[in-house]
Structure 1
Amino acid sequence: MRLRWWRATVVTAVAVLALVYLAGLARLGEAEAEQAHAVPVLAADPGTELAAMRTAAPVAGDDPAAALAAALADPATAAALVAAVPTADSGELGAALAALHEAGGGLDPVAVHDFFTGLGEERTAWLAVLYPSVVGEMPGAPFAAREAANRLVLEAATAASAAYDSPERPWTDDAARPPREELQRLIGSGREFLYLDPYDNAGEGSWIEVVGDLEAAANVAVLVPGGSAVLSSENFDLYHQRAESFVDAADGELAVVVWAAASWPSGWVEESWASWSQVAAQTLASFTFDLRNQLGDGVALTLAGHSYGGAVIGYAETFDLEADRVLHIASAGMGNDVYGPGDYTEPCRARYSITAPGDPISYVQGMPYVPLLGHGADPDDFPGVRNLATGSLSDAPDAVDDYGVSLHDLGIAGKPVEGVHSHSEIFYPESDAWDNILKVLVGQEPDLAAGQPEANPDCP
């Protein structure tokens, strides 16, 4: 009997691992199957067609800002606008929008931005109101239009979460259902999203959020979170707070984009599989070109990844991307099947890594190559990487942790950043580690750790 039990357990475990592995292959295959589509070119002026779209839509106001405000004040109107999708038989502009929407991520974001630039700022603003679900998730669409569109997406999704779905339940006609809490508290918060899908990740959501002023900042960082980066997780607010701590300290010199616009793993088992990071990395690499195109060459871009996010930015570097420097923060690795600078498209890009002594992530860094398992080389040993010192937590009287809790009350003020909790302590404001991360993000010279990897002999 005991032998049969063990045999059944082993067979079950092997079957589960095989299914997860095949799921990873399927996920990666889906990403590789995406092909770039041509961006439509309008032959005629779209003014008349756009006017007809406005007339047919349930909006009020003579300008897009007024129409947006009116729609945000009426959840039913917001829901109707979010549900609207352009069709190929509605005219040249409608057909072009339908083609862009259908292509999804398989588009050159620079070409898409040129399309909207050709329409002009006011017409683009109107399309963000008339078709928010299309504009709000479209790579290459102007950031201001995407932010406006996603305010409507948020309003509609919050209202929808409080409604009872079919089948009809007459006894619920007068009943109240609480809306999704993580969406409700965003209403009126002023938080800005370049992408917001409340239904991705099996209904737990995904997002791209801007913290700070993208137009004014001389430095912009893209921060890719660790595992469980979904709207319903505490990581949604946690990474906003972490980004905000750096932005506030930089006094207008820095904006941070928290990027979690993909399917995201949760837990050590899922996070160990490379397919999640490989698929996310392709989308992230494309986003960097969108960011560079809309911000211009004068802005310094940093690509930063924490924990599992390090695996994403690492694998993203195997594609063409735009980044002046890359920062691995307690990173899972340099990317699946990446074991040297030559595996990157830009071997000599400036790279930094920071991992505290005793951080549990060290147990998975630098795992030997297994197809679709693990995340490549150890960032702290990678040739050419500059390792940052982690130092100690702040001992200032007002020093706090990620959640605003006093470090003195916790009994950890001034202690070295090390051990099991260092995976998060590395972000505690005003710590030596936090200060070194900030220095990299704003282009200053950080304090380096005592031990450094060998230099990359192929780089100056």
Structure 2
Amino acid sequence: MRFRWWRATVLTAVGALALVYLAGITRIGGAEAEQLQDVPALTADPTAELAAIRDGAPVSGADPATALEAAAADPATAAALAAAEPSADTGELGAALASLQSAEGDLDPVEVNAFFTDLGAEPTAWLAVLYPSVVAELPGAPFDARIAANRLVLEATTAASTAYASPERPWTADAERPARAELTALIGTDRQFLYLDPYNNAGDGSWIEVVGDLHTAENVAVLVPGGSAVLSSENFELYYNRAKSFVDAADGELAIVVWAAASWPSGWVEESWASWSQVAAESLASFTFDLRNQIGEDTPLTLAGHSYGGAVIGYAETHEVEADQILHIASAGMGNEVYSPEDYTEPCRPRYSITAPGDPISYVQGMPYVPLLGHGADPDDFPGVQNLATGKLSDAPGAVDDYGLSLAEQGLSGKTVEGVHSHSEIFYPESDAWNNILKVLLNEAPGLADEQPEAYAPCA
């Protein structure tokens, strides 16, 4: 009798693991089942239809830029525009937009971009104002239009967050909740979002953010964050700070896209399951084609992932992906089921890795293969990878960490990058690790670690 509780506990644990395992299979199966939908083509000039839509919308301004500023300054107008949905009732353009919206992103972004290119720059800018909820989440839509549309989405969702999501009660009739702090902090800033969904991840949100200028940057990188990459987490601001530190130091030569546009795990248990990274990787791979198409073939493109983000970029390489080089930053692994360069679509793509001695991520790197568990090979031992030196933190008087706090005041000036805190210390500006990461992002020769993996013979 006294052992029954043990049996119940074991059965409960096994049952819970089975459910998580099945959920992972379902998640992967759902992703693999998707089929790309056709992008509609316009056969007539949409000018008259667009003018009629403008006449019926709550916008003011003779041009889209003026209308955008006016709408962004009025939460009620922004909310009305964000709620607008295109319809075939307005004509061919409305029907096409409704079709793109109903596809829910299951589209070839290159074909979507061609649709807007054919439409023209000014009509596209107007659609970002008139139907921001459509354009803001549409892969392939021109980035400038998506950034503009997300300004209105941000205004609308911030205002909506003050309402009670329940039937009205006597004590809520004249009451408002405080607006979501992470959204309020973005109002009036120059932050640039290609995607901003405050409701994904069970209400914690997800995003894609541009740091820098994609139009003028000589080098572009995609940075995929580690675990708990949601709007309500401190990681939202932290990865912006990290990206900005590199962009500012590059003085216009670099733009970084922080990509966290998927369901994201939180905590070591969820992050150990491969299904999250596998589904995110498919979306990321698609995004790289969108990005490449919009920045051009001649701009070097780096795909970088930190911690759990390394597992995402690693598995993304098992798909077709647009990237000139790969950078694993304290990475969880090269991707579930990846144990050789042959497991990638491009085995000889240049790859770098940086992990400091004593980083706790080393306990999960290179775990033996178990279906749906773990993230593949250890990046620091992977054939053909070049390991970056981690070195020391900066000892300059004004040196700060990735929160902007003084290293001197924390007693960290000149410290060797190692141990538990090295998982974040590699991002501290002006450290040896940070400098080597920056050099990779700028396609310059970085400082390499003393120990290197073996070369991959077919690529040597």
TM-score range, shorter chain: over 0.9
CA distance in 1, matches of 2:294, 2:185: 30
Q: Name the SS of the counterpart of 1:410 in structure 2.
A: coil
Partner of 1:311: 311
Mapping of 1:263-342 within 5 angstroms? 263-342=263-342
Opposite residue 303 of structure 1, the aligned amino acid is L
Q: 1:297 offset after TM fit, Å?
A: 1.3
Post-superposition CA distance 1:105-140 (Å, at most 9, x none) = 211111100000011000000100111011001000
Distance in 1 between residues matched to 2:405 and 2:431, nearest whole Å: 14
**1:63-78, aligned counterparts within 5 Å?**
63-78=63-78
Q: CA deviation at 1:150?
A: 0.2
CA displacement at 1:2 relative to structure 2: 3.4
Could you tell me which residue of structure 2 aligns to residue 120 of structure 1? 120
Residue by residue over 1:16-59, the C-alpha shift from the partner in whole angstroms, topping out at 9 and shown as x without a partner, is: 11111111111111111111111101111111111111111111
The answer on whether the counterparts of 2:398 and 2:406 sit within 8 Å (CA) in structure 1 is yes
Conservation of the 8 A alpha-carbon contact between 1:218 and 1:253: yes
Quote the Cα distance in structure 2 between the aligned partners of 1:7 and 1:279.
35
Answering whether residue 19 of structure 2 is matched by residue 57 of structure 1, we say: no
SS at match of 1:57: coil
Aligned residue for 1:148?
148
Task: Choose 31-40 or 178-187, whichever is displaced more.
Answer: 31-40
Give me the whole-angstrom Cα distance separating, in 2, the residues matched to 1:231 and 1:70: 26
Structure 2 contact 221–257 (Cα < 8 Å) conserved? yes
TM-score, length of structure 1 as denominator length: 0.99
Q: 2:53 touches 2:90 (CA, 8 Å); kept in 1?
A: no
Moved more, 205-214 or 98-107: 98-107
Asked if 1:458 corresponds to 2:451, the answer is no
**Does structure 2 retain, via aligned residues, the 8 Å contact 1:204–1:230?**
yes
- CA distance in 1: counterparts of 2:119 and 2:186, whole angstroms: 31
Matched position secondary structure for 1:407: coil
Structure 1 contact 105–283 (Cα < 8 Å) conserved: no
3-state DSSP of counterpart to 2:458: coil
Once residues 237 and 403 of structure 1 are traced to their aligned partners in structure 2, the CA distance between those partners, rounded to angstroms, is: 9
Q: State the shift of 1:171 in Å.
A: 2.8
Q: How does 1:171-210 map to 2 (within 5 A)?
A: 171-210=171-210
Preserved CA contact (<8 Å) 2:304 2:313: yes
Name whichever of 433-442 and 5-14 sits farther off.
5-14
Using the TM superposition, give the Cα deviation of residue 7 of structure 1 relative to its aligned residue in structure 2, in angstroms. Answer: 0.9
Local SS of the residue matching 1:315:
helix
- Measured after TM superposition, the shift of residue 104 of structure 1 is 2.0
The one-letter code sitting in structure 2 at the alignment partner of 1:96 is A
1:234 has 2:234 as partner: yes
- 2:51 is matched by which residue type in structure 1? A
Bigger mean CA deviation after superposition, 174-183 or 379-388: 174-183
Task: Name the residue aligned to 1:434.
Answer: 434
Count matched residues. 460
1:92 aligns with 2:95: no
> Hey, what's the Cα distance between the residues in 2 that align with 1:93 and 1:378?
50
1:381 aligns with 381
2:9 corresponds to: 9
The answer to which of 351-360 and 90-99 deviates more is 90-99
The answer for the alignment partner of 1:129 in structure 2 is 129
One-letter amino acid of the counterpart of residue 220, structure 1: V
Q: Is the 8 A contact 1:218 1:298 kept in 2?
A: no
**Corresponding residue for residue 251 of structure 1:** 251
The aligned counterpart of 2:409 is: 409
Q: What is the DSSP-based 3-state SS (H/G/I as helix, E as strand, rest coil) of the residue aligned with 1:282? A: helix
* Distance of 2:320 and 2:226 partners within structure 1: 23
SS of 1:8's partner is: helix
Report the TM-score when normalising by structure 2.
Answer: 0.99
Larger mean CA deviation between 70-79 and 134-143 belongs to 70-79
In structure 1, the partner of 2:365 is: 365
Q: What are structure 1's unaligned runs of at least 5 residues?
A: none
Cα distance between partner residues in 1 of 2:382 and 2:102: 41
CA RMSD across the alignment: 0.9
Give percent identity, aligned residues only.
78
Once the 2 structures are TM-superposed, how far is the Cα of residue 170 of structure 1 from its aligned partner? Answer: 3.4
Q: Within 2, Cα distance between the matches of 1:62 and 1:172?
A: 40
SS of the counterpart of 2:247? Answer: helix
1:217-240 alpha-carbon deviations (Å, 9 max, x no partner): 000010000000000000000000
Residues of 1 paired with 2:394 and 2:185: CA distance?
A: 31
Contact 2:310 2:332 survives alignment (8 Å): yes
Deviations 1:318-340, CA, capped at 9 Å, x for gaps:
11111111000000000000000
CA gap of 1:369–1:88, structure 2 versus 1, over 3 A, is farther
How far did 1:70 drift? 1.3
Q: Which runs of 5+ in 2 are unaligned?
A: none
Q: CA deviation at 1:61?
A: 1.2
Residue 88 of structure 1: CA displacement?
3.5
Moved more, 102-111 or 237-246: 102-111
Structure 1, 326-335 or 13-22: larger mean CA deviation? 13-22
